[in-house]
């Protein structure tokens, strides 16, 4: 019998909706035409792209011509930040972001620093929240861009981006948000005009890997990301990933058709998961905000264990979780997010993240917690340090 997999790493990527796979298939075979060509075979692809654009625009209250398809969420982040830096450099060279962004934003900003831009990295509070007052304090006449993620991938904290975007926009500064974790999970809208750019990715919501989009408000002066053909209004050249875009649109349709229901269901499972762990496993704490939190996002730090060790042991039971963000796994450096919210290094090493998905059941969570209790108990039992600590603390 094949071992059952309990997949609790949906922040890293998600399984595709079978319906999304299904609608992609004809675009590899009978509808393979290049959308830039002149015959009707090509028109099918072109029409599919424009209908996907329209559909996706509607989910955030944008106009279709403000949506640009990209090759990933990472590309959308890179494009937004680099292109604004380039286009607005006569106005200023100062960019504001946060210490807890995804590396797609952080490393892009670091690259710009090497080119002579000045970047301020805002520090969040201990829940991972970026306070608007902190943004107000660091704005300068030289600031051209503020980039703050909608929700954090490692700790699930939701940022007050409406307020942050308003502060920036009122001062004539562009606001970008990496909404890769939030898109399809939280209600998002660009209708008030304060968000200038927004990035999202298909594979985090049941779509294919290798396709994302960047929303660009129509007044933003944006340099082309790739030069070549006339695709994406000459701003992102290259033959379109037609099957990917079609699959993305299907995933968007299905995700948004049940978005509120999923939010409710995954939030309940999340709270159940957190409460059980906190009451049944000693020396555990939730990382990130308990209140301002993505549905389905559960993250902890456990003292006296290495997150990596627990993960390996859980993997032998078919349970997939994460010890930090997927991109930092394999590195020995402690997570930049957990460090930024002020956790000491020994606690950071005991980080575990579980992100639920549309197929996660209460039984999956119960099984996972039972295994966690066993594994964490076993690792701690081998630690003389823990025994001494627990004895003094009266837990054992």
Ligand X SMILES: *Cc1c(COP(=O)(O)O)cnc(C)c1O
Residues that bind ligand X (CB under 6 A): 72-74, 77, 102, 104, 149, 153, 178, 180-181, 201, 203-204, 212
DSSP-H helix ranges across the chain: 18-24, 40-60, 73-87, 103-114, 132-138, 161-170, 242-257, 259-280, 307-315, 336-340, 345-348, 362-381, 384-393
Is 301 assigned a catalytic role? no
CB of 199 to ligand X, least distance (A): 7
Compare residues 214 and 348 and give the one whose CB is closer to ligand X. Answer: 214
Q: Which of 109, 301, 320, 327 is catalytic?
A: 327
Compare residues 201 and 231 and give the one whose CB is closer to ligand X. Answer: 201
CB of 376 to ligand X, least distance (A): 26
**Which residue minimizes CB distance to ligand X?**
73
Compare residues 201 and 323 and give the one whose CB is closer to ligand X. Answer: 201
CB of 79 to ligand X, least distance (A): 12
Compare residues 155 and 375 and give the one whose CB is closer to ligand X. Answer: 155
Compare residues 178 and 364 and give the one whose CB is closer to ligand X. Answer: 178
CB of 255 to ligand X, least distance (A): 15
CB of 11 to ligand X, least distance (A): 6
Q: Indicate left, alpha or beta for 204 from its phi (over 0: left) and psi (-120 to 50: alpha).
A: alpha
The C-alpha angle 122, 128, 129, rounded to 5 degrees, equals 70
Q: Is the dihedral of CA 335, 336, 341, 342 positive or negative?
A: positive
Question: Hey, is 250 helix, strand or coil?
Answer: helix
What does the CA dihedral 288, 292, 298, 303 come to, rounded to 10 degrees?
30
What separation in angstroms does the CA of 75 have from each of 97, 108, 223? 17, 10, 14
With CA atoms as reference, report the closest residue to 319 among 281, 379, 367, 266: 367
Q: Which residues are catalytic?
A: 327
């Amino acid at each position: 019998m094949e071992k059952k997999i309990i997949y609790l790493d949906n922040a890293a990527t998600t399984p595709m909706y079978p319906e999304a796979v299904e609608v992609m298939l004809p675009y590899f075979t009978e509808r393979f035409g290049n959308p830039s060509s002149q015959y009707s075979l090509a028109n099918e692809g072109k029409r599919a792209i424009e209908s996907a654009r329209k559909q996706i625009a509607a989910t955030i209250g944008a106009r279709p011509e403000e949506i640009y398809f990209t090759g990933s969420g990472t590309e959308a982040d890179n494009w937004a930040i680099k292109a604004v830096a380039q286009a607005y450099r006569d106005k200023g060279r100062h960019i504001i972001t946060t210490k807890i962004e995804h590396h797609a934003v952080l490393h892009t900003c670091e690259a710009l620093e090497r080119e002579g831009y000045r970047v301020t990295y805002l520090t969040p509070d201990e829940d991972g929240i970026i306070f608007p007052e902190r943004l107000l304090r660091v704005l300068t006449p030289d600031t051209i861009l503020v980039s703050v993620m909608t929700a954090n991938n490692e700790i699930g904290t939701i940022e007050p981006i409406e307020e942050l975007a308003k502060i920036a926009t009122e001062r004539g500064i562009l606001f970008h948000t990496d909404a890769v974790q939030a898109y399809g999970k939280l209600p998002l809208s660009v209708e008030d005009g304060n968000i200038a750019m927004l990035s999202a990715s298909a594979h985090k919501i049941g779509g294919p890997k290798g396709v994302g989009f960047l929303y660009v408000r129509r007044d933003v002066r944006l340099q082309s990301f790739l030069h070549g053909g006339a695709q994406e209004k000459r701003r992102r050249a290259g033959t379109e990933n037609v099957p990917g875009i079609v699959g993305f649109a299907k995933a968007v349709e299905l995700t948004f058709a049940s978005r509120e229901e999923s939010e409710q269901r995954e939030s309940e499972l999340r709270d159940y998961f957190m409460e059980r762990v906190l009451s049944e496993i000693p020396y555990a704490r939730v990382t990130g905000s308990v209140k301002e939190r993505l549905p389905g996002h559960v993250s902890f730090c456990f003292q006296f264990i290495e997150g990596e060790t627990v993960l390996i042991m859980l993997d032998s039971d078919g349970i997939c979780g994460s010890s930090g963000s997927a991109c930092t796994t394999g590195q020995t450096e402690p997570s930049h997010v957990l460090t930024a919210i002020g956790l000491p290094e020994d606690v950071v090493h005991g980080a575990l993240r579980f992100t639920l998905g549309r197929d996660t059941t209460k039984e999956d969570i119960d099984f996972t917690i039972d295994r966690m209790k066993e594994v964490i108990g076993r690792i701690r039992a081998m630690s003389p340090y823990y025994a001494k600590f627990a004895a003094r603390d009266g837990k054992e």
